[in-house]
């Protein structure tokens, strides 16, 4: 491997600042706002090279149930375990799909028949 190059997703820009390559999907402005709130609100943990971090929105396969502006962060551990964290447009985090749906129901965004 060349000096100054890493196997991660980070590449160096012309001015020496780091930039990240994005995934091949369109990111809406609402999702960009949500991401910026998450990055400001959540204390950034040290990223481990053994953990893969993936962000999904309502255009990602399996996440079409999400409302616009909501995101899911998947953390794929070396052991194969996957942790999912759900984030609303305000940047608030939720631990499960059930908790997200309950929040939507309580705020009157959706109605769930029982």
Burial of 87 (0-12, 13-18, 19+ CB in 10 A): buried
Look at the pTM and tell me if it is higher than 0.75.
Answer: no
Would 11 be classed as within a structural domain?
A: no
CATH number at 62 reads 3.30.890
Number of domains making up the chain: 1
Would 77 be classed as within a structural domain?
A: yes
Residue span of the structural domain in which 71 resides? 29-106
Would 6 be classed as within a structural domain?
A: no
Would 7 be classed as within a structural domain?
A: no
Model confidence pLDDT, tens digit, residues 54-105:
899 999 999 999 999 999 999 999 999 999 999 999 889 999 999 999 999 9
**Selection from 76, 71, 3, 4 nearest residue 41 by Cα:** 71
Alpha-carbon distance of 56 to 70, in angstroms, equals 9
């Amino acid at each position: 491997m060349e000096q100054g190059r890493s196997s991660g997703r980070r590449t160096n820009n012309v001015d020496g600042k780091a930039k990240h390559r994005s995934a091949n999907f369109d990111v809406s402005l609402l999702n960009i706002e949500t991401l910026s709130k998450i990055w400001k609100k959540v204390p950034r943990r040290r990223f481990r090279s053994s953990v893969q971090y993936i962000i999904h929105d309502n255009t990602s396969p399996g996440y079409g149930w999400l409302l616009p502006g909501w995101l899911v962060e998947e953390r794929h551990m070396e052991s194969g375990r996957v942790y999912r964290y759900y984030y609303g447009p305000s940047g608030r985090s939720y631990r499960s799909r059930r908790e997200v749906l309950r929040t939507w129901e309580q705020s009157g965004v959706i109605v769930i028949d029982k």
